[in-house]
Amino acid sequence: MGYPYSHEKEVPILSKHFGDPQARTLKGWKSRGGYEALEKALAMSPEEVVEVVKASGLRGRGGAGFPTGLKWSFMPKDRSRPHYLLCNADESEPGTFKDRELLRWVPHLLIEGCLIGAYAMGAEHVYIYCRGEFFEANQVLAKAVDDAYEAGIAGEDVLGSGHKIEITVHAGAGAYICGEETGLMNSLEGRRGEPRIKPPFPAAVGAFGMPTTINNVETLCAIPPIVANGGEWYRQWGTEKSPGTKLFCVSGHVRRPGNYELPLGFPLKDLIYDVCGGIVEDRALKAVIPGGSSVPLLSAEEVEDCTLDYEGVVEAGSMLGCASVIVMDETTDIVHQVMRMAAFYAHESCGQCTPCREGTAWVTTILKRIEDGRGTEEDLDVLVQLTDQMTGTTICVLSDSVAAPVQSSIQKFREEYLALIRRGERVGVA
Amino acid sequence: MSEAPFKNPGWAGNVGEYDLTEEQVRGLDFVGIPPLEGTHPASVAAYPYMLEEKDPEAHLFEGPYETRFEKILTRYPTRQAALLPVLNLAQEVRGHVSPETMDRVAELLELSAAYVRGVATFYTMYNKRPVGRHLVQVCTNISCNLCGAEEVLEAFLEHAGAEIGETTADGAFTVIEAECLAGCGFPTCVQINSRYYENVTVEEVPRILEHLETSRGSALEDGIDGARPTAERGES
């Protein structure tokens, strides 16, 4: 069930025990069927586990949507070197707040998913890279890991199976870029969190130079129910290409913001007006960011027929990302919000690549100038040209991420920019 | 919508439809107060505390902190990989990470001083200079911004009597602007020391600041970020 609100249209699988404090404890978790999926997985061969995940069609929930089973199958079978599984719990995409709820309500679900994943890939050590800011959630996870060790669920001999799987909870230190998988690996190794050039891909040369797979918290949390019930079971929800359920993080101008677990393919309009109770004070909708601040804005018109699956959102003109739906009503000052997002990327750019280091700062400067009423129409062309040059020219996609809101807002809300430029004042803001 | 009793300023549990106590929402009853030396080595790198009391001259590391340091080292294939957790630990003890602290950590981990400075300055959670007893970090990123975060930031600055990034004369508060804290459904989200204050409105700011200073040092009233953790963990 969603937290802090639930809705009858939800399909609670991962979020089944949100708001249930007993589910955090090992005893409570076991009485809710916890660790049965791990036992089942340990009785299967690792290859069979990967096949189940492949059959489910589960796609990575961190934003890219890459098929999880396929990703797992890239790990080399040669077990002479250590293999690692990294769990990406460095949730920091603006608009995203699902992983914190998973960590603090169902820590054992994540631990179980990590252990199943590690078993399937032959990983001997799982590092859960948590956001340093998540002090409380990390403490809950840490206590659950302690309990799992004490009960012989993690460690030298997982549930008496003879398999050794270590888990380490590792707190980061505040850097958005460490949510990028190769930046995360560098950070884990005690380096600056600067992304690496791919190839080599992590499955070949990852953390500490060893074969590594990085999965999002939500992805790993989906594993135990899939293993327990089978791949086909998971496909009863969602679409052919985007099966299953997803946590949708809804924020901004809605009456009931929060996390809601819904089948992929759910209509965006219903999410806003039905599940989230509509827009505060019944104001009109202006724009929606459907997948966190790194994806293009959708205009109110584009929201109409948009369905929330990986393909549906692309068709509507944006991306699903990590399903972080940011709702903006008619009072929203688009230029200011885009400037704020650009300032975020300028702050978080790791500085390795020139187009990003320079570009994010210049985009922010130009947007601030426009906001102050000192912009020119030519500035809009410069912004488009500049963000074009920032797309596909850098090691990671942080640079591309600033282009998405800038270009889409200029295209869809050009009038708001022009009004500021022409009269030095905001229009279109109710 | 807000049927649950209002218990504590900025607590996210006071919205929504779940009938839960603050301890249950935050998991305090489950976690208890972990000992200074940590518990299982698997979990000792899970969190940096941000404490009110700081000792910038404290030795790195001694007593229970030395135990935790040793436990951290057992979890990674290289000493270098322990760098972030060890810097976290150093900040927990000293309150900020000065150049001298970075040099000491370099020594402990057999890394060059320049390397450690390069890494430490990359991450925003390492305070490069001393901060107040309460480090107030107000998220002004998009979701909070849409719901009035800039006014909340202004209110914190005004009521704390602080300039942004500066510490008040009495050493109580440092107020800074933060990037997304992943509490987007609970705007405005504010991190004060280790704790999140959620759904913070301009009106609540004076109460929160007052609460912080009056409950100082009381682990019971202020929860996990209020005092040095010394008590035993709760039963699970």
pLDDT tens per residue across span A141-177: 999 999 999 999 999 999 999 999 999 999 999 999 9
CB contact under 8 A, B185 and A257: yes
pLDDT score for B1: 37
Which pLDDT belongs to residue B18? 85
The confidence score (pLDDT) of residue A427 equals 53
CATH of A334-423, one of 3.40.50.10800, 1.20.1440.230, 1.10.357.10, 3.40.50.720: 1.20.1440.230
Q: Which residues of B touch A149 (CB under 8 A)?
A: 40, 42
Phi-psi region of A52 (alpha: psi -120 to 50; beta: other; left: phi over 0): alpha
A19-60 pLDDT tens trace? 999 999 999 999 999 999 999 999 999 999 999 999 999 999
Counting one residue from A and one from B, how many pairs have CB atoms under 8 Å apart? 244
Say whether pLDDT at A4 is over 60.
Answer: yes
Average pLDDT, chain A: 96
B236: contact with A, CB 8 A cutoff: yes
Contact assignment for A135 to B40 by CB distance below 8 Å: no
Mean pLDDT to the nearest integer, A87-114: 97
Identify the three-state secondary structure at position A264.
coil
Residue of B nearest to A194 (CA): B122
Q: What is the mean pLDDT of residues B10-21?
A: 72
Among the listed residues A308, A370, A312, the one whose alpha carbon sits nearest the alpha carbon of residue A337 = A370
For the cut 90, the answer to whether the pLDDT of residue B227 exceeds it is no
Give residue A292's region: left, alpha or beta (phi > 0; psi -120 to 50). left
* Residue A350 pLDDT > 70: yes
pLDDT for res B35: 86
| pLDDT tens figures, B25-76 | 888 889 988 888 999 999 999 977 778 888 999 999 999 999 999 999 999 9
Confidence of residue A251 (pLDDT cuts 50, 70, 90): very high
Question: Residue with structure tokens 């505040």?
Answer: A174
Which residues are CB-contacts of A380 (< 8 A; sequence separation ≥ 6)? A410, A414, A417, A418, A421
Predicted confidence band of residue A228 (pLDDT cuts 50, 70, 90): very high
Q: Looking at residues A122-139, what average pLDDT do you find?
A: 95
pLDDT at B223 over 50: no
Domain ranges of chain A: 33-234, 245-329, 334-423
Question: Is B42 an interface residue toward A (CB < 8 Å)?
Answer: yes
Same fold, A245-329 and A334-423: no
Compute φ and ψ for A180, nearest 5 degrees. Answer: -75, 135
pLDDT at B208 (0 to 100) = 87
Does A21 sit within 8 Å of B29, measured CB to CB? yes
Among residues A198, A111, A177, A98, the alpha carbon closest in space to that of A147 is found at A111
Confidence of residue B221 (pLDDT cuts 50, 70, 90): very low
Report the pLDDT value the prediction gives residue A429, as an integer from 0 to 100.
Answer: 57
What per-residue confidence (pLDDT) applies to B49?
77
Taking only the tens place, the pLDDT of each residue in A176-203 is: 999 999 999 999 999 999 999 999 999 9
C-alpha of A266 from chain center? 18
Pairing of the two strands A245-252 and A258-263: antiparallel
With residue A354 as reference, give the H or E element that holds it.
Answer: helix A354-371
Q: What value does the CA radius of gyration of chain B take, rounded to a whole number of Å?
A: 18
Scanning A111-130 for CB atoms below 8 A from B yields 130
Q: What is the pLDDT of residues B81-121, one digit of tens each?
A: 999 999 999 999 999 999 999 999 999 999 999 999 999 99
Scanning every residue of chain A, which has its alpha carbon at the shortest distance from the alpha carbon of B179?
A: A344
Closest CA to B40 of A136, A128, A142, A87: A142
Q: Which residue has the higher pLDDT, B196 or A42?
A: A42
**Element spanning A39, H or E:** helix A36-43
Neighbours of A424 (CB within 10 A): 13
- Give the C-alpha separation, A353 to A314, whole Å: 27
Residue B14 has pLDDT above 80, yes or no: no
Q: Determine the pLDDT at residue A200.
A: 96
Could B119 and A190 be called an inter-chain contact, meaning their C-beta atoms sit closer than 8 Å?
yes
Strand partners for A54: none
As a whole number of angstroms, the distance between CA B142 and CA B140 comes to: 7
Using one digit for the tens of pLDDT, what is the confidence trace for A269-316?
999 999 999 999 999 999 999 999 999 999 999 999 999 999 999 999
Q: How far is CA A179 from CA A61, A417, B143, B175, B196, in A?
A: 13, 32, 19, 26, 21
Separation of alpha carbons A86 and A216, rounded Å: 9
Average pLDDT over residues A58-74: 96
- What is the tens place of the pLDDT at every residue in B126-176? 999 999 999 999 999 999 999 999 999 999 999 999 999 999 999 999 999
| CATH T-level assignment (fold) for domain B1-31+134-215 | Glutaredoxin (3.40.30)
Structure tokens at A113: 């998913």
Q: Which of B3, B76, B142 to mutate to test the interface with A (most CBs of A within 10 A)?
A: B142
* Mean of pLDDT values over A3-9: 93
Tell me which residues of chain B, numbers 51 to 70, contact chain A at a CB-CB cutoff of 8 Å: none
| pLDDT value of position A261 | 98
Q: What is the pLDDT of residue B36?
A: 87
DSSP letters, A46-105, are HHHHHHHHHHHT-B-TTTT--BHHHHHHTS-S-TTS--EEEEEE---STT--HHHHHHHH
In the stretch 107-126 of chain B, residues with CB closer than 8 A to chain A read 109, 111, 118-119, 122-126
Share of chain B residues as helix, strand and coil, in percent rounded to the nearest 5: 40, 10, 50
ipTM over 0.85? The verdict is: yes
In 3D space, the residue among B226, B223, B200 whose CA is nearest the CA of residue B213 turns out to be B226
Say if the Cβ atoms of B47 and A138 lie within 8 Å: yes
Shortest Cα distance, chain B CAs vs residue A232, angstroms: 33
Measured between CA atoms, how close is B188 to chain A, in angstroms?
Answer: 10
Please judge whether A189 and B184 are an interchain contact, meaning their C-beta atoms are less than 8 angstroms apart: no
CB proximity under 8 Å: B 153-172 to A: none
Angle between helical axes of A217-229 and A36-43 (0-180°, round to 10): 70
Chain A CB within 8 Å of residue B46 CB: yes
On whether the A245-329 domain is CATH 3.30.450.40, my answer is: no
Do residues A220 and A230 make contact, with C-beta atoms less than 8 angstroms apart? Answer: no
CB-based contact (8 Å) between B40 and chain A?
yes
B43 closest CB neighbour out of A91, A131, A145: A145
On the question of pLDDT at B233 being above 50, the answer is: no
A72 touches A114 (CB < 8 A)? no
B201 touches chain A (CB under 8 A): no
Give how far A242 is from chain B: nearest CA, Å: 25
Domain spans of chain B?
1-31+134-215, 41-120
Which CATH fold topology does B41-120 show? Answer: Arc Repressor Mutant, subunit A (1.10.10)
- Per CB-CB distance under 8 Å, the chain A contacts of B45 are 168-171
Residues 382-411 of A with CB under 8 A from B: none
Which CATH superfamily, name and number, covers A33-234? NADH-ubiquinone oxidoreductase 51kDa subunit (3.40.50.11540)
Note the pLDDT of residue A303: 97
CA A205 – CA A215 distance, rounded (Å): 16
Classify residue A62 as exposed, middle or buried by CB count within 10 Å of its CB (0-12, 13-18, 19+).
buried
Summarised one tens digit per residue, pLDDT across range A305-334 is 999 999 999 999 999 999 999 999 999 999
